[in-house]
Structure 1
Amino acid sequence: MSNPEGLRALEEQRLGPVLRRREQIRPGTTDQRLLDTEGDSQWVHTDPWRVMRIQSEFVEGFGALAELPGAISVFGSARTPVGTPEYEAGVQLGRALADAGFAVITGGGPGVMEAANKGAREAKGISVGLGIELPFEQGINAHVDIGVNFRYFFVRKTMFVKYAQGFVVLPGGLGTLDELFEALTLVQTRKVTRFPIVLFGKDYWSGLVDWLRDTVIAQGKASERDLMLFHVTDDVDEAVAMVSKETGR
């Protein structure tokens, strides 16, 4: 008795854990394609190869940062000019955090990031910069002692959280807001615990805090206790005291 059409033996190709049938079967074998020097080089741009690059970024990041002491990630605008009050606040924060025994982690770029790295280095602390590949990226600033450049934002953001015990967030733009709200979400959902978040600059952050309270919370999109996920201050010593207290230092 013949098999029904749907049960007829299929031509199959097994490539490791991947099964291919019908029109999706590829000619040759994996080894053949690997050893073929005249083959198509487009494979380096495929998603499976990207997975390997993503894996390598995690390995490099973990290897570079695994032996850091307790650290604080400092965020803020790359566009903050040298010599402005915000820049000087970044220097003071970096210096005070290093004096308190923290390594200082930034995005490695100019502006506030450079300022915090500068302060940490001047205080003989560990100054870390986690850069990102961008069309307008200016490279790792000169005050970084340990620097890692990343292709992928999500790998870099993992490093900011994994190797930091808290965040201090100075005035910044979309990238700073992205990092801030990711940290708030991780704390709110308890993906991380005992993770202080300090917003530095009351005038800059007051509008955001008002919007969260008067719109987001007022409309039931968040709860009143979510305002307790962060602190706002204008004082460097207070900011360092806040992160020190919540990290048990």
Structure 2
Amino acid sequence: MTRDGDRPRPEEKQRGPVVLRREHRIEPTTTDQRLLDSRGPSDWVHTDPWRVLRIQAEFVEGFGALAELPRAVTVFGSARTPRDHAEYALGRALGAALADAGFAVITGGGPGTMEAANRGCSEAGGLSVGLGIELPFEQGLNDWVDVGINFRYFFARKTMFVKYSQAFVCLPGGFGTLDELFEALTLVQTKKVTKFPVVLLGEEYWGGLYDWIVRTVVASGKISEKDLGLIHLTDEIDDAVKVVHEAYRAWEETH
């Protein structure tokens, strides 16, 4: 058989939805045979097609576990905060205040400030959630997590933080906290999510960053003046909870 009038049609093999032609079609075994015949090498678990299934599984597990979560606030902060530090006490008090206000608390599930927020929420009778991540230097979920999920992939975990939260509150933290902070601001600025406040709790720690945004980023026209309204800088837990409440009421009015 010819194609385009005179060119011979190449021999082909179908592998599911994939078409293999010419030398690329050579396969000594079928997919079913490779599945059932023998164990073989384990390299396949590290291939990109298999990663897609793992990623899909993480989304399915996350959506399934969190689908019936009540209104919630995600709290970010450093995993390196000692338990005797004032920032740990602040995180614990914030977790309790959010629980008293009727919000579940979601954290990255690790130690430090994350543990503090989970602990404060749990001690106050709230629902404490931890979304952990596979890292070489963190030791699983903290003991104050009531509902916990461990993720391999940051982007699957990030989706859960945003999808199941009504607000982010950022306590002093490092690169991980900064990453989540700016991603949240970008999503709100571009209206990928709406009615989603971002609170920076701790003026001494966050004040320099906020000033730089005002004096450099806004002043040079990289963001607009109104974008500053996406950031709420405060030292007071009551102020943070008030911002969350007001945003949640505004969200309810549109749903």
Preserved CA contact (<8 Å) 1:103 1:120: yes
Query: Residues of 1 paired with 2:5 and 2:202: CA distance?
Result: 71
Query: Residues of 2 paired with 1:97 and 1:242: CA distance?
Result: 12
Residues 1:101 and 2:102 are matched in the alignment: yes
Query: Residues of 2 paired with 1:4 and 1:167: CA distance?
Result: 59
Secondary structure of the structure 1 residue equivalent to 2:192: coil
Query: Residues of 1 paired with 2:180 and 2:3: CA distance?
Result: 58
Quote the offset at 1:39 in angstroms. Answer: 3.4
Partner of residue 226, structure 1: 227
Partner of residue 82, structure 1: 83
Please tell me the root mean square deviation across aligned C-alpha atoms, in Å: 1.8
Cα distance change of structure 1 residues 10 and 230 upon mapping to structure 2, 3 Å threshold:
same
Quote the offset at 1:5 in angstroms. Answer: 10
For structure 2, the residue ranges without an aligned partner over 5 or more in a row are none
Partner of residue 151, structure 1: 152
Partner of residue 44, structure 1: 45
Query: Residues of 2 paired with 1:236 and 1:58: CA distance?
Result: 32
Query: Residues of 1 paired with 2:201 and 2:232: CA distance?
Result: 8
Alignment of 1:51-200 (within 5 A): 51-200=52-201
- The amino acid of 1:178's aligned partner reads D
Query: Residues of 2 paired with 1:158 and 1:152: CA distance?
Result: 10
Query: Residues of 2 paired with 1:179 and 1:35: CA distance?
Result: 43
Secondary structure of the structure 1 residue equivalent to 2:45: helix
Q: CA offsets, 1:64-94, max 9 Å, x none?
A: 1111100000000001111211110000000
Query: Residues of 2 paired with 1:81 and 1:3: CA distance?
Result: 71
Q: Comparing 4-13 with 190-199, which one deviates more in the overlay? A: 4-13
- The amino acid of 1:12's aligned partner reads E
Partner of residue 21, structure 1: 21
Query: Residues of 2 paired with 1:225 and 1:139: CA distance?
Result: 40
Quote the offset at 1:211 in angstroms. Answer: 1.5
Secondary structure of the structure 2 residue equivalent to 1:247: helix
Q: Comparing 11-20 with 169-178, which one deviates more in the overlay? A: 11-20
Q: CA offsets, 1:24-57, max 9 Å, x none?
A: 2241221122122153432221111111111111
Query: Residues of 2 paired with 1:94 and 1:239: CA distance?
Result: 11
Residue correspondences, number: 249
Preserved CA contact (<8 Å) 1:169 1:198: yes
- The amino acid of 1:214's aligned partner reads R
Query: Residues of 2 paired with 1:144 and 1:3: CA distance?
Result: 63
Q: What is the TM-score with the length of structure 1 in the denominator? A: 0.95
Quote the offset at 1:3 in angstroms. Answer: 6.8
Cα distance change of structure 1 residues 6 and 234 upon mapping to structure 2, 3 Å threshold:
farther
Q: CA offsets, 1:97-155, max 9 Å, x none?
A: 00000000000001100000000001000000000001112110011111100000000
Partner of residue 215, structure 1: 216
Q: What is the TM-score with the length of structure 2 in the denominator? A: 0.93
- Percent identical residues: 67
Preserved CA contact (<8 Å) 1:196 1:247: no
